[in-house]
Amino acid sequence: MAEQKSQYTGLLGWVDERMPTLMAEYKKHLSEYYAPKNFNVWYIFGGLAITVLAVQIVTGIFLVMNYKPDAALAFASVEYIMRDVPGGWFIRYMHSTGASAFFVVVYLHMFRGLMYGSYRKPRELVWIFGCLIFLSLMGEAFFGYLLPWGQMSYWGAQVIVNLFGAIPLIGPDLAIFIRGDYVIGDATLNRFFAFHVIAIPLVLLGLVVAHILALHDVGSNNPDGVEIKKHKDAAGRPLDGIPFHPYYTVHDIFWTAIFLILFFAVVFFAPEMGGYFLEWNNFIPADPLTTPNHIAPVWYFTPFYSILRATTEQFMIWLAVGTIGMAALVILSIRNAMVRGAVAVGTIVLLLGYFTLDPKFWGVVLMGVSVLIFVPLPWLDHSPARSMRYRPAWHFALLMVWVVAFLWLGYLGTQPPTPAGTLVSQVLTLVYFGFFALMPWWSRMGTFKPVPDRITFVAH
Amino acid sequence: MSTSTSLPGGQAPESASVDKERRNAVIVTCAVGGVGVAAIAAPFLSSFAPSERAKAAGAPVEVDLSSIPLGEKIVVEWRGLPVWILRRTPEMLQSVKKADPEVADPKSQRTQYPTPEYARNEYRSIKPEFLITVGVCTHLGCSPSGPFPGGSNAQLGADPGFVCPCHGSTFDLAGRVFKNKPAPDNLPVPPHKYVSDTVVVIGDDSRA
């Protein structure tokens, strides 16, 4: 191969002549990645998520050095880290606070996407990779939560593994297969440890790379929801874009500093966060013979958990009415006879299922759907404008109603079940699903504001 | 690639000139290789099933009932599960009868957790005095609390019984689930038999 003279000198020149990939990728993803110049504070959360991921990996590696994945030793080894290992408490509180911080950051990151239509064409793959990251993160958090082997670890895992037992026919055997025993035990702890420290993190890292690569191929969305690639200068650079480095690296470092101040305030002054980040009952060693009087998942799972709890026998009637309504709407809106037939048959099968299989199974199904419903969002939203800035004000109000439903479900999920609470969570569950299910219709309605040709930006 | 050597003059191979025989050989190789890759998953997947040690740890447990005070519940461990033994007072037995119209499956006829023949009666037990049941909710596997006397628990209302802390299922003093609760089934009755008047074996009901 012909020797190529590098534009760089010194050591970098020497490397560049032998591995041009390095500087080419640096340019592609940092110094010559053009991001819209009108990013606001909502655009910090992707970077913060990477920061938290790094914190979790580093603290996780050091925790593994002292933790023992053995049902007889696990609880004591965590207390050993907290009391006897120099700085152990600090590393562990960073890891436990990091778990909650990860979800705070990711939920805000997702809300940004919902607000500015970041999932819309051509960013569907960015969005889907993001949804898979969210799913892996939930898995990672769930597997990790068993490891301290406290009462909440034990009974939380018991409930979630038993969810699989609700699947007709194969369910009970599948639950045994997941546990590796007839009850949650040492075998379960060991395999969850393997998933938590190696399997899921590898998947997570791969998905993060895919998420960023897909994003950098299509380019970032922005608060106006307009394409900056429409207007380029003679060199092919978007007129409204600025290089990610140094402009947004500096912007992100500033906000990372603010984030870290808040993060360490929690680590130092409220690591348990009133029982929400570290639940009180988890300071009691796992006891397979007694369930604590009040068990609830950690806060970031509670909205989905509330949906599970809301699915009782009475709720199946509401669900049937909702399903029939949806089917009627689809059949009236779509002219294709094949689609109409398929929807009619699907609805009948669903309705038969609602009243023959246990509500428990449907609770599990609804909980699964409530997480996966984000995936088809790019195809549910038919609004002519991406960003809420140019959509009717009531579209934004609707999004906020959904956010309130999500938060309220989350609150109810932390509380012991009461008849009134169940009723409220049933209404909120319908709001939660209705927002997505009816989106193909409502997202076209109303008066849209004219979308500008270029981004709106006022220099500071 | 071998195709480029067969084409003189460095011309790009045309799709029409694909060697069918070689293409078929590639397809067959991929298929056979794919079967091999799928087969190697078997040992990994089978390692998820309970180990021989886990399977062996299910020996029956013998319990002496004479020391249980009237109206009290004890918990014994069998196969890692909490097995409850509740010594019921006549009033408690009365409450079971009264709960018949309020429970979902009063005669224990559902088959998901089949109630053994000898316990498929009014009080779901061999001897009415002793309720022997697995204290694991049939919803998602939490262990209910109780027994609570009638009127002492908001979720039970006026009935005495057990309450699952996870999702609020309630059970009467025969372990039968009340109507319209998340749990679909009554608390399971483990296989058991009396070897003397006061000693019961849990995990074995063979009539030897």
Q: Which residue in the set B144, B180, B183 is minimally distant from A314, CB to CB?
A: B180
Residues A144 and A99: beta-carbon distance below 8 Å: yes
Look at residue B1 and tell me whether its pLDDT is greater than 90: no
Select from B55, B140, B185, B202 the residue whose CB has the most chain A CBs within 10 Å, as the one to mutate to test that interface: B140
What does the alpha-carbon distance between residue A67 and residue A96 come to, in Å, rounded to a whole number?
A: 14
Select from A169, A181, A279 the residue whose CB has the most chain B CBs within 10 Å, as the one to mutate to test that interface: A181
At residue B14 the predicted structure's pLDDT band, cuts being 50, 70 and 90, is low
Position B119 scores a pLDDT of 85
C-alpha torsion sign, points A73, A78, A82, A85: positive
Per residue in A243-281, pLDDT (tens digit) is: 999 999 999 999 999 999 999 999 999 999 998 999 989
- Quote the percentage of chain A above a pLDDT of 90: 83
Position A391 scores a pLDDT of 97
Among candidate residues A70, A89, A91, A64, the one with its CA nearest the CA of residue A79: A89
| Chain B closest-CA separation from residue A403 CA (Å) | 24
> What's the token pair of residue B11?
């011309």
Q: Which residue in the set B58, B165, B182 is minimally distant from A293, CB to CB?
A: B165
Biggest CA-to-CA distance, chain A: 78
Look at residue B2 and tell me whether its pLDDT is greater than 80: no
At residue A4 the predicted structure's pLDDT band, cuts being 50, 70 and 90, is low
Give the residue with greater pLDDT, A459 vs A32: A32
At residue B57 the predicted structure's pLDDT band, cuts being 50, 70 and 90, is confident
Omega prior to A122 cis, within 30 of 0? yes
Asked if the Cβ–Cβ distance from A181 to B181 is below 8 Å, we say: no
Look at residue A10 and tell me whether its pLDDT is greater than 60: yes
Position B4 scores a pLDDT of 45
Give the residue with greater pLDDT, B7 vs B28: B28
> What's the token pair of residue A283?
């300071």
At residue A320 the predicted structure's pLDDT band, cuts being 50, 70 and 90, is very high
Q: How many beta-carbon pairs below 8 A join chains A and B?
A: 100
Position B16 scores a pLDDT of 67
Exposed, middle or buried by CB within 10 Å (0-12, 13-18, 19+), for B166? buried
Mean pLDDT, range A311-324, rounded to an integer:
91
| Chain B closest-CA separation from residue A208 CA (Å) | 26
What does the alpha-carbon distance between residue A286 and residue A126 come to, in Å, rounded to a whole number?
A: 40
Look at residue A233 and tell me whether its pLDDT is greater than 80: yes
Asked if the Cβ–Cβ distance from A291 to B164 is below 8 Å, we say: yes
The residues of B that are catalytic are 167
Per residue in A181-205, pLDDT (tens digit) is: 888 999 999 999 999 999 999 999 9
| Chain A closest-CA separation from residue B28 CA (Å) | 31
- Quote the percentage of chain B above a pLDDT of 90: 33
Per residue in B125-163, pLDDT (tens digit) is: 999 899 999 999 988 888 998 899 888 887 888 889 999
C-alpha torsion sign, points B29, B32, B38, B44: negative
* pTM (predicted TM-score): 0.87
Backbone angles phi, psi at A349, to 5 degrees: -60, -45
DSSP B102: G
Cα–Cα distance list, B201 to A253, A347, B64, B196 (Å): 67, 50, 9, 10
Q: Which residues does B178 contact at the CB level (< 8 Å), separation at least 6? A: B99, B102, B103, B104, B156, B159, B161, B169, B170, B171, B172
Q: DSSP letters along B156-188, please? A: TBTS-EEE-TTT--EE-TTSPBBSSSS--SPPP
CA A115 to chain centre: 16
Position A292 scores a pLDDT of 85
At residue B10 the predicted structure's pLDDT band, cuts being 50, 70 and 90, is low
Backbone angles phi, psi at B171, to 5 degrees: -130, 150
Q: CA nearest A419 in B: which residue?
A: B155
If you average pLDDT over every residue of chain A, what do you get?
Answer: 94
Pairing between strand B161-163 and B73-78? unpaired
Residue B5, number of CB atoms within 10 A of its CB: 7
| Chain A closest-CA separation from residue B139 CA (Å) | 7
Residue A92, number of CB atoms within 10 A of its CB: 23
Interface of B with A (CB under 8 A): 48-51, 54, 58, 75, 77, 79-82, 135, 139-145, 154-155, 164-168, 180-184
Look at residue B9 and tell me whether its pLDDT is greater than 70: no
